[in-house]
Structure 1
Amino acid sequence: MSRGILLFLALLAAVMIPLVLGGNETWSRLQNFPLSGLLIMFGMILLCWVVNTMRLRLLLGDQRDKVSRVKSLGVVMAAEFAYCATPGGSGGPLTIMALLARNGVRPARGSAVFAMDQLSDLLFFLCALSGILIYALFQHLSQRMEWLLTVSAISMFGGLVSCVVVARYHRLLIRLSGRLLARLNVKATTRLRWARKLLHFLAAFTDTLKLPYQTLIKVFALTCVHWVLRYSVLYLALRGLGADLQWAWSFLIQMLSLSAGQFSLLPGGAGAAELTSAALLAPMVGKSTAAAAILIWRAVTYYFYLVVGGPVFLIMLGRPLLKKLMKFKQA
């Protein structure tokens, strides 16, 4: 119950922050927004689900026959709902692994698919950020934009270095974690079971990396299509409201806002993402325009996932797992 209340309060804060920022002008700006533009953005999200379904099936490799195309789409939609409804998106990977396991895919393979999916996302953001940095060299940037680019670059490259360190020194990390768990009085059988699961995951992840080169290129290409579509929503919202902001800066604002939402550990980053995006966007386009754009952006990329993905989640996994995810890390 407490998690449900937290989600409700987060959603309430997510709506109130832009409304307070924009004041009375926000509603009039929303009324003048073209309906065709809104339908196009919802269509882009539907296309994102199809693209992610194709990516999931490619990563499953020889296991894809165990999960039909319709069920693969359901896995994607249910996982997106879990990302949005749980603190820090913690329910997303659990949902993916649970649904794949129900269809005969081993948990280690399911976790490897998720890890490969995240690695592909990280590579895209590194490439996109590198492109923005090159573009920024030929622009006269304000001190605010220089600070945003610096923080983004440090965080992205830090994430890449962490992945390389874990991959290169995973045996040492297993030994060190085992010693730490021993000092915490964790039973030897439990430590051994966790180490065995980690080794199974690493083996499955290695098998995923051994997919045909053409398959991995297709996965990365689909990743690029997905994120370009999803991160174009705020840009299109601003254009529909008459604001002139370059796509690169709207991309950067979304990336930082959603990262802040993840660190806040609120469901879907609700409240934190709106507050961060408002602080970054308002000085560029004005308060009322920023407030209206944020409401449209979150309606398409957050509330839509909850409304449409929720029934799919309940059909595929049922209410018991939903309650389990909502209580995740409650202690």
Structure 2
Amino acid sequence: MKRGYWLLAGLLCASAIPLILGGRQMFEQVARFPLGTLLLMFGMIVLCWLINAQKLRVLLAGRAGRIGQAQSVGIIMASEFAFYATPGGTGGPLTLMALLARRGMRPAQSSAIFAVDQLSDLLFFLCALIGVLCYALSHTLSPDLEGSLALGALFLGGLLVGVVLLGRFQRQVIRLNGRLLDRLQVSPLKRLRWSRKLLHFRDSLAISLRQPKRTLLLVFLLTTCHWTLRFSVLYLTLHALGEELQWAWTFLIQLLSLVAGLATLLPGGAGSTELTSAALLAPLVGKPTAAAAILIWRVVTYYFYLIAGGPVFALVAGRPLLKKIIGT
């Protein structure tokens, strides 16, 4: 029950932030928002699910048996619902591994699939941030966005360096993990079990990364299509509200908000995402417009995932797994 209350509290706090920030003017802008644009953005999210489902099938490469389009979309929607409904998104990979385990995949294999997917995301964000940096060199940038750009570049660069070092010194990491477990007085049998799991994960990850370059390029292209669509929602929202903010700046705002949301470990970054985006967006377009844009943006890219993904999760994953990851 505690996790369920945690999610509910996060949703209430998140929805209250735009209301407090924008006041009556925000409601007026939301009421005038074009219905066609809103439906278009919901359609973009559905397309994102289809793209991610195709990417999952490419990454699996038949190792989980024959998975149809509907089945892969169900797995993606259920996993993303679990991601946004649990602190720090921990339920996402757990749901993915549980669903793939039902199709005969070992946890090490499914976790390796998830790791390759995350590496593809990281590579996209780094490339996109470099593109934004090049764009910023020829355009005037507000002091707030300058600091955000530097922070984003530092974070993603440090994360990429960490991943490279982890891959380079993997044996030392495994040994260090064993020593740490020994100091924590973990039994030799459990230490051996954990070591085997790490080795299986390493081998499965290496196999996934040794796929043909054409396959890995396709994975990256699908990742690029997904995040480009997803990160265009805020731009379209502002455009429909009458604000002509460049796509590069809306991308940067969403990236920093995403990082802030993950750092707080709240379900879906509820509250922290709204606060971060409000702090960056309000100086550029004004508080009422920023509040209206944030509310609509979060309805499309957060609440819609919960509302549409919840029934799919219940159908695909089942109530026992829901109780396990959310505790309701």
Question: How many matched pairs?
Answer: 328
Aligned partners of 2:64 and 2:100 also within 8 Å:
no
Q: Please give the per-residue CA displacement for 1:161-197, whole angstroms capped at 9, x wherever unaligned.
A: 0110111111100101111110111111111101101
Off by >6 Å, runs of 4+ in structure 1: none
Q: 2:89 maps to what in 1?
A: 89
Paired AA for residue 303 in structure 1: Y
Q: 2:280 maps to what in 1?
A: 280
Q: How does 1:1-331 map to 2 (within 5 A)?
A: 1-327=1-327
Aligned partners of 1:13 and 1:271 also within 8 Å:
yes
Q: Please give the per-residue CA displacement for 1:107-132, whole angstroms capped at 9, x wherever unaligned.
A: 21111110000000000000000001
Show structure 2 runs of 5+ residues with no match: none
Q: Residues 64, 318 of structure 1: CA spacing in aligned structure 2 closer, same or farther, 3 A cutoff?
A: closer
Cα offset for 1:69? 2.4
Aligned partners of 2:26 and 2:288 also within 8 Å:
yes
The two structures have a TM-score, normalised by structure 2, of 0.98
Paired AA for residue 298 in structure 1: R
Aligned partners of 1:61 and 1:211 also within 8 Å:
no
Paired AA for residue 210 in structure 2: K
Q: Matched residues in 1 for 2:141 and 2:74: separation?
A: 43
Q: Matched residues in 2 for 1:43 and 1:320: separation?
A: 31
Aligned partners of 1:67 and 1:103 also within 8 Å:
no
Paired AA for residue 243 in structure 1: E
The two structures have a TM-score, normalised by structure 1, of 0.97
- Over the aligned positions, Cα root-mean-square deviation in angstroms equals 1.1
Partner SS state of residue 141, structure 1: coil
Show structure 1 runs of 5+ residues with no match: none
Partner SS state of residue 242, structure 1: coil
Q: Please give the per-residue CA displacement for 1:75-123, whole angstroms capped at 9, x wherever unaligned.
A: 1000110011000101000011100010112221111110000000000
Which deviates the most, 227-236 or 210-219? 210-219
Aligned partners of 1:22 and 1:287 also within 8 Å:
yes
Percent identity, please. 59
Cα offset for 1:327? 4.4
Paired AA for residue 148 in structure 2: L
Cα offset for 1:62? 3.1
